Amino acid sequence: MPYFAAMNRCLLLFCLLLCRPLAAQDFAWTPGLQRAYVDLLKLKVASARQTLTGEPVTNGMHIYTDDFADMVTLLVADEEQAFNQLAKREDQRLSQLQKLDSKSPWQRLMQAEVRLHWAFVKLKFGKEISASWDIIRAYKLLAENQKLYPSFIPTYKSLGVLHIMIGSVPENYTWVTNLLGLKGSIRQGLLEIQRAQQDPIFRTESQMIELLVRAYITQFTDADQQKLKGLVQEHPDNLLIHFFAGTTAMKNGRSEQALAYLLDRPSGPAYLAMPIIYNLLGDIYLQKGRYQQALQQYQQFLTTYRGQNFLKDSYYKQFLCYWLTNNDTRAIPLLQQVQQVGHTVVESDKAAQKFAESFFSKTISSQQKILMQARLATDGGYLDTALTLMRSYPEAHFIQLPDRAEYNYRLGRIYQRSHEPDQAIPCFERAIALSESAQLSFGATSALQLGYIYQQKRNIAKARQYFEKALSYKKHEYKNSVDNKARAGLTSLEE
């Protein structure tokens, strides 16, 4: 299903947070396996694998932890050759688990977890159909576990994730989930993840998943930001949590905080190498307008990375470093590279490819440089810089209709993030008016933000009107994410 291929960096984080089992007959959670699992959560894969060599291979928890190690390695390294070598292990491990105690709720849960591990790995490598079937089978196993053992808390964390995924499926694909008997909603999934937090063993993982959902699907509040900061402080030696915190902070316009999380990350040979962090650091420096530092980070990423994702993105961002300083001689060859390297599985690569095609077809005007600089600064939370830039130009400065719509949307976002909603409202309304005839994405995103503003003002009727308006846009590049957030907004109005 094309929808599943649209997952971006949050994919890695969902995958790494799915389960932490306990002991039950064939599923003995020994001290050694506990140490191995904790090391895997820190991305200390080598030491975890060393510990696993001393544990019985027939133990269901060993099977699970060994599979978890493969998943972590494949998702972080992102090497297709390694994926091809290890993919056969899914069926082997499922066969082993099926031979264990079928009366234990762990048996179904572990089968579901293995399927989910490989589903997310397959999505990473563009194997959407096979991944979708794994997700469907995992859902069936977890739903059956819930029915047979309704008080078995471990089921709810993973089942909650799937209910959120099902509830996020775009409207034009809901017939597929209904046909397959997959039911769920974002609200239901969040409640299940919160239920899992009642158990101290699952508390940290469940908190991280909930924060991910709020960051990427619903709304990320100041209280959520404090919870995120607390997680980092509680786990200073955990590379995964630092990566998680950095990406989540960036997603929510707090790149300066993200920079601190990433620069303060634990490092050394004990940890799995994460070249993607150089890409993230490059993005932050690009947002700050520190182009030379951004270039160094992107080049470091390309030097150390062996996969095929984020290549288009990195060349595109290097192009921006030169293009925004009017150095077209250095910029153009980098944009040409975008069309020649990597895949278009992740959203950032798709966006890079689309920009390159538009640029070389002469549909990108030089005025886009102003809007791009404002967008980058706003995305990073550098609002004073963005506002100063935008106030230097009136709407009339921009000739093309899409540029004028984007101008108003960007200005609205700056005011909104600066806690000036009354200043933002007319900007968003203007963006909607300009977007109406061509159904531009800036109309949909502006309507979504107006829904949030009126929700905060407790004007429920207006909030509902604009959330529904956001959903009414039938085709634009951000439809999946906008629709997810708009539906979640409508649901929250009913609570």
Residue 201 has what pLDDT?
A: 67
Two tokens, residue 482:
């906008």
10-residue block means of pLDDT along the chain (495 residues)?
46 51 68 91 96 94 95 92 94 96 94 95 91 94 96 91 81 64 85 88 80 84 91 94 94 95 96 96 98 98 93 97 96 97 88 93 90 96 95 93 95 95 97 93 96 95 95 84 86 77
Residue 157 has what pLDDT?
A: 87
Which of 337, 359, 360, 361 has its CA nearest to residue 349? Answer: 337
Residue 154 has what pLDDT?
A: 87
Degrees to nearest 5, angle at CA 44 with 254 and 281: 25
Domain ranges within the chain, ordered by starting residue? 2-224, 365-495
Note the CATH architecture for domain 365-495. Alpha Horseshoe (1.25)
pTM, full prediction:
0.85
Q: What are phi and psi of 27, to 5 degrees?
A: -120, 65
In angstroms, what CA-CA distances link 176 with 116, 132, 139? Answer: 19, 11, 14
Cα 229 vs. chain centroid, distance in angstroms?
Answer: 18
Residue 6 has what pLDDT?
A: 43
Rounded CA separation 208/10 (Å): 11
H or E stretch including 368?
A: helix 368-380
Residue 206 has what pLDDT?
A: 85
Residue 24 has what pLDDT?
A: 45
